[in-house]
Amino acid sequence: MEYSTFGRHVAVDAWGVEFDVLNNSELLQSHMVEAAEACGATVLSVQAKQFEPQGATVLVMLSESHLSIHTYPERGFAAIDCYTCGETVDPQLAIDYLVNVLKPTSVYAKKLVRGLGEMKVEEPVIKQVELV
């Protein structure tokens, strides 16, 4: 069996997120798992750390790679990234899910297309939709 080296890595800086959302590792963990499942990824494990006096880190290990968030509630900032290998799982769907949950006032994002030779940098389109 031959495996593809193709992968997509989406990195997002989200600003203007509510303090209480960014300072709740349990809430973030729940949303991160939902985001991973929404993009079709397979969750292998989850690690979450609540920092004192504030801040959180959540890492979701995927069969396809990872989804992570690091928060700075005092600044309303979250650093989010998702990397998936192969063509069947789209990390952009997980990112869109999280952006819609976090509701930042501004978002800056880049997508790296990896595993095809030199990395290609793209400007992803962040889709903000109403979650049902």
Active site residues: 65, 70, 85
Q: What CA dihedral angle connects 94, 6, 42 and 66, to 10 degrees?
A: -60
Q: How far is the C-alpha of 49 from the C-alpha of 55, rounded, in Å?
A: 9
Sign for the CA dihedral angle at 121, 86, 99, 69 comes to: negative
Q: Roughly how many angstroms between the first and final C-alpha of the chain, as a whole number?
A: 40
Cis amide leading into 124 (omega within 30): no
